[in-house]
Chains A and B, each alone.
Chain A
Amino acid sequence: MATDLQGGYGWRVDELDTDEMILNMGPQHPSTHGVLRIELRTDGEIVRAARPHIGYLHRCFEKHAESVDYPGVIPYTDRMDYVASMGNSLGYALAVEKLMGIEVSPYVQTIRVIMAELQRIASHCIAVGTYGMDIGAFTPFLHLLRDREKILDLFEWTCGARLLYNYNWVGGVSHDVPEGFVKACRQFLREFDAITYPEMIDLLIKNKIFIKRTAAIGVCSPELAVSYDLTGPNLRGSGPPRDLRRDEPYLGYENYEFDVVVGEGKFGPRGSCFDRNWVRALEMKESAKILHQAVDRLEKMERADVHEKVPKRVKPAKGEIYGRSEAPRGQLGYYIVADGTGVNPYRVKVKSPCFTAMSIFHVLAKGMMIADIIALIGSLDVVLGEIDR
């Protein structure tokens, strides 16, 4: 493994064996993962080595964070993982609140849980949908996207934006939920439980062709997964039931009843691409469960002011903190260093789950066929915005 990545940038043609060739899956893919360049060294159809090249979407997030003040970083965090923005700003807001010692009210916590779980369903819709599309099933993608549109309509109704919200502020949220939100949310959950979820399982997950394509490839043992620091559905697909919502509960997650979905290896070895996808699909159901409970709780609470604890000027004392949360793609961590002077953070470092997921790619890609490489990237569910920041 170490020898593959040494020696400069890319392979040279004269260091190949006689029957190998270099195949470049260039920065532009027909699949929607983003601008990722993968260099494959193949022997016919079988891949001998793979080398991903990233950095095409680097936008200097961490440098920008040093020149705006603490609440101003939140729109930048939205744009990292643009498919699941609520999770990003939630992680950052939680970290800064811990640094400043702010405790938000249960009303705000419930709203945040609802938004985070809705975002998790929406993000997994994209993950499972585009995975199906990479495998060749075009229809489930559109059915899931129709449901994602319903979620995005809910978000637009609440805060005004469909994709990049600037919603979780330090100390609260930007807008209170409008009148009738609970009813609309319940309506969405009713449609999701009755129609979308069973159809997705029947049409895509249980399809024999899909199972044959994905259940025997990309097998990642639990030890390998832990040693490469995989988190989230990628880790849970291999076995260990580690979920930050269970292990280090935040936002009152200890009061909600849900199961941690773990890959079971029903149709093949445990930890295959199918298992990771299975974890994502079933997590949608678990998020729906949490949403039912959270919406019931929200209905019973009386409305409070969501801007109550938002400080006028965020000026924490000198210190540093690492705050982490369970984003749809894994464990998203913010390491914030405050130097006590000025309103800008001194340093914001992001531990992005997709970056560590990409690091296991070259290990799992050995010995696969080219068609499986696409399936593998899809099952790791990478979003380039988060890898490159």
Chain B
Amino acid sequence: MSWLGDVWEGFSTVLVGMNITWRHLFVKKVTLHYPEEKWQLPPRSRMRLFMKYEDCIGCG
């Protein structure tokens, strides 16, 4: 009766997935609240998180 096995497997894997998503509701979120908290760039980074207006040459 592979049909019954298929139906049961479908149902149980859905429940397992729902369990995982349910748990993630209560996890601490990884969002950085940008203007209030800023990310500290490591010392070697070659980027800037702001724009220097004097350096901008415009897009065209």
Contact = CB atoms under 8 A, between A and B. Distances in A.
B42 interface: yes
Contact-size category for A: 20 to 34
A158 to B, nearest CB: 7
Interface in B14-60: 14, 16-17, 20-21, 24, 30, 41-42, 44-47
Q: Which of A175, A207, A208, A209 has the most chain B CB atoms closer than 10 A to its own CB?
A: A208
Contacts of B45: 156, 160-161
Q: Which of B17, B20, B45, B47 has the most chain A CB atoms closer than 10 A to its own CB?
A: B17
B13 interface: yes
A202 B20 contact: yes
Interface SS, A side: helix
A203 B44 contact: no
B20 A199 contact: yes
A183 interface: no
A157 B40 CA distance: 11
A159 B44 contact: yes
A31 interface: no
A143 B17 CA distance: 13
A135 to B, nearest CB: 13
A300 interface: no
A159 B24 CA distance: 32
Nearest to B45: A160
Interface in A177-212: 178, 199, 202-203, 206-209
Given A139-B24, A203-B16, 20 more contacts: A143-B24, A160-B42, A160-B45, A160-B46, A160-B47, A161-B45, A161-B46, A162-B47, A175-B44, A178-B42, A178-B44, A199-B20, A202-B16, A203-B17, A206-B13, A207-B13, A208-B9, A208-B10, A208-B14, A209-B13
